Structure 1
Amino acid sequence: MNIKSFTTANTNQKIPVKGINKLKQEQTQIISQVTSVSQLSDVQPTDWAFQALQSLVERYGCIAGYPNSTYRGNRALTRYEFAAGLNACLDRVNELIATATADIVTKQDLALLQRLQEDFSAELATLRGRVDSLEARTAELEANQFSTTTKLKGEATFTLADTFGDDTETQAVFNNRVRLQLVSSFTGKDKLFTRLAAGNIGNSFADELGTNEGRFAHDGAANNDVIIDRLHYVFPVGEKLKVTAMASLGAHHFYADVFNPGLNTGGGGTGALSRFGERNPIYRLGIANSTTGIGFSYKLNKLIKLEGGYLAKNGSDPSSKAGLFNGNYSAMGQIVVQPAKRFKFGLTYVNGYDPGDGTFAFGGTGTNFANGLLPGTEERRINSNSYGVQAQFDISPKFSIRGWGSFTDVDFNGGDAEIWNYAIALAFPDLGKKGSLGGIIAGAEPYAGRLDPRPADFTNDTPLHVEAFYRYPVNDNISITPGVIWLNAPNQDRDNDDIFIGTLRTTFTF
C-alpha cells in the first residue's frame, strides 16, 4: 500500500514527498479530501490493494490523491513518508475515538487493536529495546567521533621483492610504506586532503640497477620518517568548474583525467606495480614533494571537458631561480573528449622550464638519457614542450583497454633532445572474484630518441617495459598482489642484460 499521499482530514495538508523533478510543483499543491476511491483515476477494482484503499478513504477519511486525481500507488516511498502517512491515519483514528463515532470505530475495532497490542507485546518490547540500544550507541559515537568534518583513511603496504638477471646483484628486500590521509569537508562539496606518509622503500632498486625504469608505484618514502606528502584543497566554483590548490606534492594527475582508473592510484598500493604502469609520464613532469600549484577541471558540456594547471617545483622557496615564477615550472593544458559512455580520449600539452638546477625529470620513470640529459645540464636552462595522447575503451565491466603516447622536445643551451614514451594497458576488474584486479602493461618508458650533442656512449635502442600483476582481495581491507616486471634493453641499450623484478605486495586499507 502506498501511503505517500496521506493527509490529515482536519487540515487537509499534504505530506511533502520526494519524487521526479517534473512532478515537484504538482506534488506541493493542496487538494480536497478524497471521499470515494472512485475519485482516484489510476486505482482499479482489480488492484490488489483496492479494498484497503477503499476502507482508508471511505471509512477513515485519511487518504488524499494528487491534483490530477491520481494516487500513483506503484511509486516508492521513504521511511519518513511512511511514518508521516501512518501518523496521519492514527491521528484520524484517535480523533474518531475521542468523538465516539461509533458507526465508524466500533467496539470490535477497539477490541481488535487491543488484542493485536497484546499479541505483539513481546515483539514491540524487543523492537523498543533495539531502538534504545541504537540511540545509545549513536550518542556514544557522536560524543567520541574523530571529527564532524573529517574522515580518516589509511593504507599500509608491505612489499617483498627482488630482481633477477645475469648482470644484477641485488638482494631480496622487505619494505613498508604507510599513508594516513585526513579528508575534511567544510561545505559538503569541498575537500581538504592532508596526508602523512612514512616508509623505508626508498627508490626501489633504482640505485642498484642504475635506472629509474621499473620503480614501484608506491616507493619514495625512506628511513621511516613521517612527512606531510600531500596538502591539497579541492573546491567547486559553480556547477561545472572544480579547482585544486596544491600546497605540497603538486602534480597534474591530481586534477586531470589520466585515462587509467584502477591501475592509477596516485602512488598507492592497490594499483599497477610500477610508476610507469600508473599513467602516461607526461603527467609526472614537474612533480616533487616541494611542488606547489593550482589546477582546474571544467566540464564544457556532456562531450568535452577542459583541464589545466600550473606547477612550481620550488614555489615555496623565495631564493633566486625559485619561487612561483622564477624557478622550475610545468604548465599543462588538456582536452578530454567522451563521444560514448565507454570510450574517451584526451590531448595533452605540457610546457616546462628549468632555470638550471638539474631537476628535469619524468617523475622517477625512464632511462638515464631521458632524465638529466647530458652531463653538465644542471648548469643550463632547459625548455621543454611535451605532447601527449591517451585513450580509454571499456569493452565491458570486466575488460578495459587503455593506451598512451607522448613526445617531448627539449632545448637547452648548447643542445637539444627528443624523448618518447608509449604503452598499452589491459585491465581486468573483478577477475575471478569481486574486488580483484588483473593488469598487463607493455610499452617503452621515457627514452631519448635523439640527443645532441651526442655522448660517446649514447644508444637509442627502444627500452621495453612489460609488467603483469593480479590483486587478490582477501577481504574488504586486505589484498595480496603478486606480479613481475620485465625490462628489455634497460637504459635504452640492447647490450644490457634483461632485468626481471619480482614482487609480492600486501596492502591493508582502512
Structure 2
Amino acid sequence: MSKFLWNYLLVIPTVFYGLLFLPSVANADVTTQETVPTKIISPKPVVTQDQESANSPTEITGQVTSVSQLSDVRPTDWAFQALQSLVERYGAIAGYPDGTFKGNRALTRYEFAAGLNAALDRLSELIASNTADLVKKEDLETLQKLQAEFAPELQQLRARLDSLEARTAEVEANQFSTTTKLLGDAVFIVADTFGDRANNRPANDTKDDTQTVFGYRSRLILQTSFTGKDQLSTILSSNTIPNLTNSTGTAMTRFTFDQGTEEGVYLSQLVYRFPLSKNATIWVGPRALQPAIYAPTLNSSIGGLNGAVSRFATFNPTVYRPGFDGAGAALGYKFSNQVQLSLAYTADNTQASRASGEGNGFADANNIIFSQLTISPSRQLDVGLAYVHKYFGTRTGFNLTGGTGSAFARNPFEQNSTSTDNFGLQFNWRASRRFVVGGWFGYTLAHQESGPNNDATIINGALTLAFPDLFKEGNVGGFIVGVPPKVTSNDYRPRANAARREDPDTSLHLEAFYTFRVNDNVRVTPTFYVITSPEHNDANNAIWVGALRTTFSF
C-alpha cells in the first residue's frame, strides 16, 4: 500500500499544477485568431484553430527543458515553482518562438479542454509506467471524470479543425497565385464647377457653362513577391475622370486622379522593388517610376485615396510630379531611424521627343534626377530637403509643374527645351494623435536650353491641417491653404515688345474635405475648394469646385 500511495502522490502535483496553471497559459477566445495559446505537450497534441494559421507570428515551439528558457518568467512570480515543476520534472509545457510563456493571458473553455486533455494524457503515461500492477480502475475515475466533462468541447474543437482543414485545402486548390496578391480600387467622382471661365480679361464674357460631371478611375494591382522581401507592382488602369482645364480655363482646378492621355485599359505602372542590404532598397521599372513611390512625400494625411481631391493639394508638385511617366532606377538608404536618403534617375523616351529629333537615347530624353534627405528628429516630426533636376526637350508636350499652377508656370518659355533646378522643403508634424500639421515650399529656377538664354523663377507653397479620427475612428478631415506654382520673374518674351510670361497677381487655393469611413473597403469624401484670382490674375473671378468622391478598395 505504501508503494501505491507513493506512486499515486507522484502524479498528484501534475494534476494540481495543471489545474493551477491552465488559466494562465492561453490567450483570448480562439475565434479572434490573434495569438496562439501556449499549450501543454502530449504524445497526441491538440492543435487549436489559431495554430492552423500559417502566418501566425506566435507558433508554438518545441518542448522547453528548463524554466530559464522562458524569458518572461521570473523567480519572484507567484507560481514560479509550479511552472518549474511542470517544465523540468514532468516535461508538460512548451513556449512561444520568442522564448516567452505569456502566463498572464486569459483562457477559454476550448483552450482549457485542450490543455487539460494533454495534461491527463501525460498523467496516464506516468501512472501506467509506475503503477501498472497496483492502480485499479476506480483510482483513475476522478481524472477520467474531468476528461468526460470536457468531451463536448473537445469534440467541437476537433470539428472546427476538420472544417478549417477542408477550407484551407479548398483555398490552396483555387488560389490566384502562390506568389501574387490581387488588389484593386475604384474611385467615382461626381463634381461641378461654379464661376466664370478664366480668360485673363476683365470682361465677364465667359460664363460658366459646365455641366455636372461623373467619372471613375479603376485599378487592378498585382503585387508579386519572389523572395518574400521583394515586390513587383503591376497596375492596370482605366480612367474617365475629366480634366477640368479646358472647361474652367485653368489647371488650378484639376483633380488628382483625372484622365491622362491613355484611353481604355492601360498599364499605368510596372515597378520592381528589392532590398540591396539591411539599410538599402532598390527600385527599377520601365513604367511610372514616380518620386512618390520611392521617396516620402510627408503628406500622407492629406494626399492619397483618403485625402484631398484636388491635384495641387496632394503634395509639392514641382518636386514629386515629374510631368511624365518613365523608366529608371531609385535607391533608398536608411542611415538610421532619423535619417534616410532617396536618389533616382528616370527618363521618358516619348514618341513626341523621338519625332522632334531629341531624346532618342536614355540620357537625352526628358528626364529627372531626384534627391531627398528625410530627417526625423523625433517620432512626431519629419522634414524633407529635396533637390530635383529636370530636363524637357523641345515640343515634347511638357509642363514643368506637373499639371498644376498657371500656364506661365507650366511653360515659362512655351515649348522650347527647358531645364529646371527645383528645391523643396516639406514637413509633417504630428502634434497629437488627432491633429497633424504639414506643408511645403517649392522654389524653381528654370533655364531655356534652346534659343535665347532666358531664365525664370517659379514658387509654390501650402500649409495643411489634418484631423485623423475626426468624429469617428477611421475618418479624417483636412484643410489646405496654398499658392499654386507662380512665375515671379521671367526674361522670356514670346515676341518683340510683348509682355514677359510673368504672373501679375497671386492665386490662393483653399480646400476642405472630410473622408467618412463606411467600412474597411468603402470611403466617401465630400470636398470643396476655391481658387481665387485663377491663373494668378485678378482679372479672373474666383472658381469654385465641389465634388463627392467614393472609393472602393479590395
Same-fold call, TM cutoff 0.5: yes
TM-superposed deviation, 1:361: 2.5
Instruction: Give the equivalent residue in structure 1 for 2:192.
Output: 162
Q: CA-to-partner distance for each residue in 1:455-479, whole Å, 9 max, x for gaps?
A: 5375331111111100111122111
Instruction: Give the equivalent residue in structure 2 for 1:498.
Output: 542
1:57-206 equivalent positions in 2, closer than 5 A: 61-62=90-91, 74=103, 92-101=122-131, 107=137, 110-166=140-196, 167-203=207-243, 205-206=244-245
For the residue of structure 1 that corresponds to 2:385, the secondary structure is: strand
> Which AA in structure 2 matches 1:344?
D
**Retained in 1: the 8 A contact 2:64–2:87?**
no
Instruction: Give the equivalent residue in structure 1 for 2:18.
Output: none
Picking from 249, 262, 265, the partner of 1:226 is 265
Distance 1:89 1:124 in 2: 14
Q: CA-to-partner distance for each residue in 1:336-381, whole Å, 9 max, x for gaps?
A: 111111001111101111231341322211110011223xx42x33
**Retained in 1: the 8 A contact 2:347–2:365?**
yes
The 1:191–1:110 alpha-carbon spacing in structure 2 relative to 1, beyond 3 Å, is same
1:175-324 equivalent positions in 2, closer than 5 A: 175-203=215-243, 205-221=244-260, 225-265=264-304, 269-289=305-325, 291-314=326-349, 319=354, 320-322=357-359, 323-324=361-362
For the residue of structure 1 that corresponds to 2:147, the secondary structure is: helix
Q: CA-to-partner distance for each residue in 1:5-46, whole Å, 9 max, x for gaps?
A: 97899xxxxxxxxxxxxxxxxx99996799xxxxx98166xx
The 1:222–1:112 alpha-carbon spacing in structure 2 relative to 1, beyond 3 Å, is farther
TM-superposed deviation, 1:224: 5.9
Matched, 1:402 2:438: yes
For the residue of structure 2 that corresponds to 1:231, the secondary structure is: strand
1:452-471 equivalent positions in 2, closer than 5 A: 452-454=491-493, 455-456=498-499, 458-471=502-515
TM-superposed deviation, 1:231: 0.7
Distance 1:419 1:183 in 2: 38
Instruction: Give the equivalent residue in structure 1 for 2:365.
Output: 327
Distance 2:39 2:322 in 1: 59
> Which AA in structure 2 matches 1:135?
E
**Retained in 2: the 8 A contact 1:321–1:327?**
yes
Matched, 1:443 2:482: yes
TM-superposed deviation, 1:74: 4.6
**Retained in 1: the 8 A contact 2:522–2:553?**
yes
For the residue of structure 2 that corresponds to 1:361, the secondary structure is: coil
Q: Which runs of 5+ in 2 are unaligned?
A: 1-20, 26-37, 44-60, 197-206
Q: CA RMSD in A?
A: 3.6
Distance 1:328 1:118 in 2: 77
TM-superposed deviation, 1:240: 0.5
> Which AA in structure 2 matches 1:294?
A
The 1:487–1:110 alpha-carbon spacing in structure 2 relative to 1, beyond 3 Å, is same
For the residue of structure 2 that corresponds to 1:339, the secondary structure is: coil
**Retained in 2: the 8 A contact 1:184–1:191?**
yes
Picking from 489, 496, 501, the partner of 2:533 is 489
The 1:141–1:109 alpha-carbon spacing in structure 2 relative to 1, beyond 3 Å, is farther
TM-superposed deviation, 1:92: 4.1
TM-score by length of 1: 0.83
TM-score by length of 2: 0.76
Instruction: Give the equivalent residue in structure 2 for 1:13.
Output: none
Instruction: Give the equivalent residue in structure 1 for 2:56.
Output: none
The 1:294–1:460 alpha-carbon spacing in structure 2 relative to 1, beyond 3 Å, is farther
Distance 2:520 2:64 in 1: 49
Distance 1:65 1:233 in 2: 41
Matched, 1:476 2:505: no
> Which AA in structure 2 matches 1:307?
S
The 1:33–1:238 alpha-carbon spacing in structure 2 relative to 1, beyond 3 Å, is closer
Matched, 1:343 2:373: no
The 1:144–1:434 alpha-carbon spacing in structure 2 relative to 1, beyond 3 Å, is same
The 1:318–1:90 alpha-carbon spacing in structure 2 relative to 1, beyond 3 Å, is farther
Distance 2:64 2:484 in 1: 67
Instruction: Give the equivalent residue in structure 2 for 1:12.
Output: none
Distance 1:503 1:257 in 2: 27
Instruction: Give the equivalent residue in structure 1 for 2:6.
Output: none
Q: How many residues align?
A: 472
TM-superposed deviation, 1:439: 1.0
**Retained in 1: the 8 A contact 2:319–2:386?**
no
User: What is the identity percentage for the equivalent residue pairs of Structure 1 and Structure 2?
Assistant: 39
Instruction: Give the equivalent residue in structure 2 for 1:373.
Output: 412
Q: Which runs of 5+ in 1 are unaligned?
A: 10-26, 35-39
**Retained in 1: the 8 A contact 2:352–2:395?**
no
**Retained in 2: the 8 A contact 1:249–1:287?**
no
Instruction: Give the equivalent residue in structure 2 for 1:42.
Output: 75
